Amino acid sequence: MRPVCTYTDFFVLCTGRNPRQTKAIHDEVHATLKREHRLLPHSLDGASEATWIISDYLDVVLHVFTREARAFYRLEDLWGDVPVIGLEPEAAAS
């Protein structure tokens, strides 16, 4: 994000199948960052509806969407001139 905005370095975008899964994704990221890195978000919005949860960690802004919300807001199109780093999902631990 740094080439086009001054308030963060990265947007992390991910999608859950429904609000329950979206909330679970957010909760796991939040717990892991808190436990392993002692990081808490500067601000948080959308957790009660869980269709689009935004956690602002200053250098990184986490966006967790339902499929419908991600398709509606189309952040990839809005920020289309920003370089993209694609990641493959990790296999679930056994």
38: phi > 0 → left, psi -120 to 50 → alpha, else beta; which? left
What dihedral do alpha carbons 48, 53, 56, 59 form, nearest 10°?
160
User: What pLDDT sits at residue 92?
Assistant: 52
H or E segment and range at residue 44:
strand 43-45
Kindly give the confidence (pLDDT) of every residue in the chain, 94 residues in length, as a single tens digit, with 9 standing for 90 and above: 566 666 667 888 999 999 999 999 999 999 999 999 999 999 999 999 999 999 999 999 999 999 999 999 998 777 777 767 777 776 555 4
pLDDT per position as a tens digit, 64-91: 999 999 999 998 777 777 767 777 776 5
Beta bridge partners of 45: 54
Instruction: Give me the domains of the chain, ranges plus CATH numbers.
Output: 10-77 (3.30.460.10)
Instruction: Report how far residue 37's alpha carbon sits from residue 25's, in angstroms, rounded to the nearest whole number.
Output: 17
